[in-house]
């Protein structure tokens, strides 16, 4: 009778190895699908766009190839980089000011009930007013300068950020506060170590929404309040010879830059202080 007793370490490793390989294959498959699916959808969209233009027989609306040629033309003239930088400059300043004001104000108003009661009605009065409606006032105050669109972007961003920060504090799980109080944290430590960190996931979501709104507003403001930027490119291309290939080229650049900005903001979700608040599937 010659039974061989397998070493426990060897047996455990032999059990774990197939599981690790399977998880590795699943991770590789998810990563591949993360690129393949959107690329496939994008290619199908371009094909449908091209076919629709050809079937319609339109001489005004451009095909994807004509739009690509328009982008190359703008790049060779040096206008594409100039207009992209101008738009990003305005969005960066207006959005940064909104974050610097909106997040602290939202946290404080969400934490202090009296402050919320005092300022919330005023916030709800100004919040529904479209930033586009402020364009005549912005031009009156700041003239045709970069300050006008920066002011409009600030208005478009600050209220969504403030409201999301308020909601993040007010919707916090009471168990967090009870646990912190059991550890004897002071009011300042409670705010910094518990309130702020527990609110970050919802604040990041509000920042993402506000950034999309800010990018919309800068395009509209540049069509009226300044003479540079992607919004100005669209309206100028339409008025100067009806270059609809350049009009759509500007629209494509706006969409692509908006995608890049959203991806950059989503990188904040990878920090440990934020990642815990998102469900994993």
Checking if the pLDDT of 1 tops 70, the result is no
Separation between Cα atoms, residue 85 and residue 111, nearest integer Å: 38
**Helix ranges (DSSP H) in 112-243:** 113-126, 135-142, 147-170, 174-182, 187-190, 196-222, 230-239
Percent of the chain topping pLDDT 70: 78
**115-129, 181-195, 243-257: range with lowest mean pLDDT:** 181-195
Separation between Cα atoms, residue 116 and residue 121, nearest integer Å: 9
Separation between Cα atoms, residue 88 and residue 261, nearest integer Å: 10
The pLDDT score that the predictor gives to residue 2 is 47
Checking if the pLDDT of 200 tops 80, the result is yes
- Per-range mean pLDDT, top range of 3-12, 66-75, 271-280: 66-75
Q: In whole angstroms, how far apart are CA 132 and each of 62, 155, 173, 216, 220?
A: 29, 10, 37, 10, 7
pLDDT digits 0-9 by tens, 230-253:
888 888 888 877 788 888 898 899
152 near 138, Cβ under 8 Å?
yes
pLDDT digits 0-9 by tens, 2-36:
454 455 554 444 445 666 666 666 667 667 767 77
Separation between Cα atoms, residue 280 and residue 270, nearest integer Å: 12
Nearest to 260 by CA among 91, 14, 100, 132: 91
The pLDDT score that the predictor gives to residue 101 is 94
- The residue-averaged pLDDT of 45-57 equals 86
pLDDT digits 0-9 by tens, 73-120:
989 988 889 999 999 999 999 999 999 999 999 988 988 889 888 999
Pairwise pLDDT comparison (157 vs 223), residue with the higher score:
157
């Amino acid at each position: 009778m010659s039974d061989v007793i397998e070493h426990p370490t060897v047996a455990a490793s032999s059990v774990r190895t197939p599981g690790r390989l399977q998880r590795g294959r699943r991770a590789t498959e998810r990563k591949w699908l993360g690129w393949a699916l959107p690329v496939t959808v994008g290619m199908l969209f371009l094909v449908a766009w091209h076919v629709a233009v050809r079937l319609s027989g339109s001489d005004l609306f451009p095909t994807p190839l004509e739009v690509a040629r328009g982008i190359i033309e703008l790049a060779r003239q040096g206008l594409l980089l100039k207009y992209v930088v101008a738009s990003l400059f305005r969005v960066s300043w207006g959005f940064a000011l909104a974050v610097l004001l909106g997040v602290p104000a939202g946290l404080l108003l969400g934490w202090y009930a009296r402050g919320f009661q005092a300022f919330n009605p005023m916030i709800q009065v100004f919040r529904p007013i479209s930033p586009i409606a402020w364009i005549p006032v912005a031009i009156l105050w700041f003239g045709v300068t970069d300050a006008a669109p920066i002011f409009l972007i600030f208005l478009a961003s600050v209220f969504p950020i403030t409201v999301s920060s308020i909601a993040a504090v007010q919707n916090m799980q009471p168990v967090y506060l009870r646990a912190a109080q059991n550890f004897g944290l002071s009011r300042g430590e409670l705010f910094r170590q518990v309130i702020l960190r527990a609110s970050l996931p919802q604040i990041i979501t509000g920042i993402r929404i506000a950034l999309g709104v800010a990018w919309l507003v800068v395009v509209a403001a540049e069509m009226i309040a300044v003479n540079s930027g992607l919004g100005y490119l669209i309206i100028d291309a339409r008025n100067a010879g009806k270059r609809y290939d350049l009009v759509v080229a500007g629209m494509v650049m706006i969409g692509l830059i908006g995608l890049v900005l959203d991806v950059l903001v989503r990188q904040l979700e990878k920090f440990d202080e934020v990642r815990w608040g998102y469900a994993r599937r």
